Amino acid sequence: MHSRSRRGVGRGGLKMSVQTPPKPKEPEFGEGRVADEELLSVIELAGRKAAAAGFLPVLGAKAKEEQDIMWKLKVSPEDVLAFADRAIDTAEDVFMHATRAFKPAARMNLPLQDGEDAPPLTATKKERIVVLGTGWGGHAISKVIDSDKYEVIYVSPRNYFVFTPMLAAASVGTVDVRSITEPIRMANPCVKYVSGEVIDIKPGDKKVVVALPSPQEKRPPQMPVSAASVAPNVPPLVHSKSPAEGATAATGGGALSRAGEGSLSQEPLASLDDAKPLMELSYDKLVYAVGTKTGTFGVPGVRENCYMLKEANDARQLRAAIVNVLEEACLPGVTDEEKRKLLSFVVIGAGPTGVEFTGELTDLIGNDVPRLFPELVGLINLTVVSSGKVLPMFEEVLQDRGLNLLQSQGIEILLGSAASEVTKEEVVLKNGKRIPYGLCFWAGGTEARPLTQSLIETIGPEQTDASGSKRGQITVDGYMRALGTNGTILALGDASSIQGVKMPTTGQVAAQEGAYVARLLNRGYDTSVEAAPTMTGYDNSTAGQMEKAVDFFRLRGRLSASPFHFINLGVLAYIGMGQAVAEVKVGKDTPVLDAAGKAGFFLWRSTYVVKQVSPRNRINVAVDWLKVRFFGRDITRL
């Protein structure tokens, strides 16, 4: 059966050029699937109330017809017990937070002179834990770690955590970047922070070498002289389509890492005064949580011509670039043909990052372009290129729903099409097809940081011969201890790989691993033993009844630590037009429900606002959504 070609103008002026697929057969969700009409009605009512407040569109009867909520009645006793155990751990964490509120902030007394060592460990009664990275894993440790027991020092060029799933929303102005960030000093005022880049790790000496900010980096950025400074009301006549060309104008001339580069492998821009003072920092235990960087996988031109989303600065640059494209297309004398080329957006990669950016960009095109750029209606084209499926980490039924939802918005989807090169003007596919673009966004995946590769080689055969080294990851045992380090280095997140266990590379995994490591240390388990970490010399026979009760609550009779157990809570992805797909679970073998369309959007927004890491972030995100609902997105070019 041949599909019918459909062309026309989609919502908000998005030019439609898609292939209408044959009507899919009724999906099969497996044994135990039910459509719970009563609960769906409750969700509809909640959705209408949220819509009245400006958060959500109303869930209508269409959700029932398409069965946007699909329940799965399957329970794994192992998952239920693990979830209950984790709930007790969370209660312990809440108590830790409550007591921390009455403690003074930590003071930094480390010397910063070039080449001078940090104070020896004998200068403090506490063991020193050095944490590299302020991402999902490092941030989770800051929330849970007992700072009364340990001296905790964070090292990273980035002094904040960023809620990465919402970077796509920040890149089009749906939320402000600061609404989804939390400074590490606010996450836990009792930890210390060093602003610097780790350039070497010495496991034998238990030291890290930190490059501190150079004098040039400490100075205020100088604004470049440009046409905009002479005539601020006239946009530049030259279109900067690459991140390298547009970074200075988009950010005010600050020194930035290249597109997609992250915290600990950030490469500073060359300058006349680029000498950085160095500091050696000793540790008792090192937590390696540097994550990964955006990978180009050897595709020529990606780094030079594509925008990426890995850091907050990436979202700022991408937001400015989108506004630049729209403004340039409105310049006098630009022909319709030139406008169509400028307004051709290409997204490479159909994972969560690529799909969510596509959805957010579609909302900008549909809701704000007709209001602010009416002359561009009908000239914008959006293409998604992927070598595999759409949202491959979802179940097949939700993959199909996601694909259909994207196509219904007038987005051209090219599956099974890998990019072989990205030039300044076109994306070249391996099948020979060339796609002209005005802005290209790369969401092709991640790869290891150079520091991780260096640490693997430094540790030796225990790491280089392990399975994780093939993927550029530190191989750890079930207790997150890096092999070959005698328990002095614990690695987690995307930079690590548990031996014999396959884990998704997501923030959810990294956050759970970070909390696990913090609890492991809080409870005093000895990580240096070859077998399971144990509580050596533990004796509470002289403790009072209250202390014994607290110990039982915390340890639950475990004098040897249990290995890390990941509780998969599911995945979500925003599609655009107030629609999303969601898988909700309580463990690997305990699925709860699948949702798509408006119901999926309700779950997506509810989950994302709840999962913000502080009340400040939750309020800011909710307010940002309300502002967009009533006033539209801010397209100010700063």
Residue 6 lies in a domain: no
Q: Which domain holds residue 357?
A: 232-259+295-445
* Same structural domain, 251 and 208: no
* Same structural domain, 361 and 240: yes
Residue 499 lies in a domain: yes
- Of the candidates 590, 609, 584, the residue with the CA atom closest to the CA atom of residue 39: 584
Domain boundary among the residues 401, 430, 445 is at 445
* Same structural domain, 433 and 326: yes
Between 35-44, 276-285, 584-593, the lowest mean confidence (pLDDT) is in 35-44
Are 622 and 177 contacting, i.e. CB atoms less than 8 angstroms apart?
no
Question: DSSP class of residue 380?
Answer: B
Q: Which residue has the higher pLDDT, 149 or 22?
A: 149
Residue 292 sits at φ, ψ, to 5 deg, of -130, 180
CATH number at residue 376: 3.50.50.100
Rounded-to-integer distance, Cα 157 and Cα 159, Å = 6
Residue 579 lies in a domain: no
Residue 23 lies in a domain: no
* Same structural domain, 149 and 239: no
* Same structural domain, 109 and 243: no
Strands (E), 160-252: 160-162, 181-183, 192-195, 197-202, 207-211
Q: What percent of the chain has pLDDT over 70?
A: 73
Rounded-to-integer distance, Cα 37 and Cα 43, Å = 10
pLDDT number for residue 272: 36
Rounded-to-integer distance, Cα 380 and Cα 322, Å = 12
Residue 527 lies in a domain: yes
Amino acid, single-letter form, for residue 318: L
Are 34 and 8 contacting, i.e. CB atoms less than 8 angstroms apart?
no
* Same structural domain, 137 and 283: yes
Amino acid, single-letter form, for residue 470: K
Rounded-to-integer distance, Cα 290 and Cα 137, Å = 9
* Same structural domain, 302 and 393: yes
Long-range contacts: 452-457, Cβ < 8 Å, 24+?
452/288, 452/290, 452/495, 454/200, 454/201, 455/201, 455/203, 455/288
Residue range 495-532, pLDDT digits in tens:
999 999 999 999 999 999 999 999 999 988 999 988 88
pLDDT number for residue 66: 56
Domain boundary among the residues 501, 522, 555 is at 555
- Residue 537 pLDDT grade (very low, low, confident, very high; cuts 50, 70, 90): low
Residue range 320-341, pLDDT digits in tens:
999 999 999 999 999 999 999 9
* Same structural domain, 465 and 364: no
* Same structural domain, 113 and 247: no
Domain boundary among the residues 399, 425, 445 is at 445
* Same structural domain, 239 and 356: yes
Domains contained in the chain, number = 2
- Residue 268 pLDDT grade (very low, low, confident, very high; cuts 50, 70, 90): very low
| CA 313 remoteness from chain centre | 13
- Of the candidates 123, 176, 130, the residue with the CA atom closest to the CA atom of residue 289: 130
- Residue 225 pLDDT grade (very low, low, confident, very high; cuts 50, 70, 90): very low
Residue 59 lies in a domain: no
Does residue 361 have a pLDDT over 90? yes
* Same structural domain, 252 and 348: yes
* Same structural domain, 429 and 310: yes
Residue 87 lies in a domain: no
Residue 7 lies in a domain: no
> What residues contact 417, with CB distance under 8 A and at least 6 apart?
385, 386, 387, 429, 430, 431, 433
